[in-house]
Amino acid sequence: MSGNPMDLSGATVLVTGASSGIGRETAILLSSLNARVVLTARNRERLEQTLSSLQGQGHRIEPFDLGCLDEIPKWVRSVAAEAGSLSGLVHAAGVQLTSPIRFVAPAAMEELLRTNLLSAMMLMRGFSQKDCHAAESSAVFCSSVMGLNGAASMSVYGASKAALIGLSKSLAVEFAPYRIRVNCVAPACVQTEMLEQMREVFSPEQFEALKRAHPLGFGTARDVANAIAFLIAGTGRWITGSTLVVDGGYSAQ
């Protein structure tokens, strides 16, 4: 056995949102820790790009639309049947919405909650099925500091991310008898496509103020991936129901 508690040899980890950003970087890091990684998102071409960056062998692509909520448990079972029981689940898929609530249509609210929250519920329903998870396994949701701190124009997004934190706490207790750990990471702004979308919405002055709100500056996807890997690996074996804040000091002020 390796003396490195973060070694993931023999582990298979399903990563959602693996076509870009935090999901892609997490998949790359997990592969470097010797995990077999199952990549999922809607865009096969972008998943292929992620796959080409992975180290090791045994990785696979499983394109899927997590908006098809009813199909998720059956899909997870099919993935586990092909790839083997899953030691880890990283739910990095998500969408961001920056808008005053008075301008947000109910349909947009429903779509965001479906992607950010309801898919997590259904993924855990699937992950917890017999033969779908390993004897010791771990799930990590990608929440946000917006689930902990308030900010103007972030109410709908923040609500979905706060709900993930509440969900993880209850599932941690529910699944502890099955040795399934459930945790969250809560990043602030990291240099991904989402941040570029915010740059387009904000004025230059607003964007500069956002940057100043991070004492250590904007983070990177690897910063968040490091935290996720810590929770997935043996380093997190006694951690469940927790939220690891990875925010460059944003919430310390």
Active site residue ranges: 157
Which are the contacts of 242, defined by CB distance < 8 A and separation ≥ 6?
183, 184
Check if the beta carbon of residue 104 is closer than 8 Å to that of residue 156. Answer: yes
Distance CA 179, CA 167 (A): 17
Please report, for residues 21, 64, 230, 233, the alpha-carbon distance to residue 51 in angstroms, rounded to integers and kept in the order given: 14, 16, 22, 21
CA atoms within 13 A on the CB side of 88: 33
Position 66, amino acid: L
Check if the beta carbon of residue 93 is closer than 8 Å to that of residue 41. Answer: yes
Query: 167: which 2 tokens?
Result: 């969900």
